[in-house]
Amino acid sequence: MATVELQKMTPAEYLAFERASDLRHEFVNGEVREVTGARRPHNLVAGSIFAFLYSTNLEGTFEVYQNDMRVRIPGGSYYYPDVVVTPSPPELEDDYGDTVTNPLAAFEVTSPSTEAIDRSEKLANYQRMESLTDYLIVSQDEVRVDHYRRIDDRRWELTIYDSLDAMLSLSSIKCELPLKKVYERVDIK
């Protein structure tokens, strides 16, 4: 998804602006960035992740959202992960019910305009969240998932998956996600 930088705001101003807007915007260090649409492969990959996780949640121990659930980062930044998993019920920032504060896993599907942000700024900010145990950067153009898994309060482990036979283990929700399912509807190079 492409981003367009807009203007400086406080977190409260951002939330009021965002809730009145028909478009989505992320908020980092006082800057508001419009989040624009995604290409077909991006939507298919994110949709496959969402559908698989949703369908495996038979006991209702977690909730999974795609695209429109905002995540508040400590320090006042806000992102819209492509897929986010929370405990059930999640901790919400306020009564609006549109912002979670305790994600367990966040998935960002890369696009040419956002990959650098996903791999640097978002990685650093998501790793500051005490509740987050898994941050996954998923390619839409090739079979590749960079899985950052929390080891303890200060350390993260990176595992790179690049085979359709690989299984991603999300221990926080007791789920294994086959890459075959992630990429089953996408033509991969």
Size of the chain, expressed as the number of residues it contains? 189
CATH of 39-182, one of 3.30.420.40, 3.55.40.10, 3.40.50.970, 3.90.1570.10: 3.90.1570.10
pLDDT-based confidence at 7, cuts 50/70/90? low
Indicate left, alpha or beta for 2 from its phi (over 0: left) and psi (-120 to 50: alpha). Answer: beta
pLDDT per residue over 136-147, tens digit each?
999 999 999 999
Q: Report pLDDT for 58.
A: 85
pLDDT at 77 over 70: yes
Q: How far apart are CA 173 and CA 188, in angstroms?
A: 28
**Helix (H) / strand (E) containing 84:** strand 83-87
In whole angstroms, what separates CA 159 from the centre of its chain?
A: 17
Rounded to the nearest integer, the mean pLDDT of the chain is: 94
pLDDT at 103 over 90: yes
pLDDT per residue over 14-49, tens digit each?
999 999 999 999 999 999 999 988 899 999 999 999
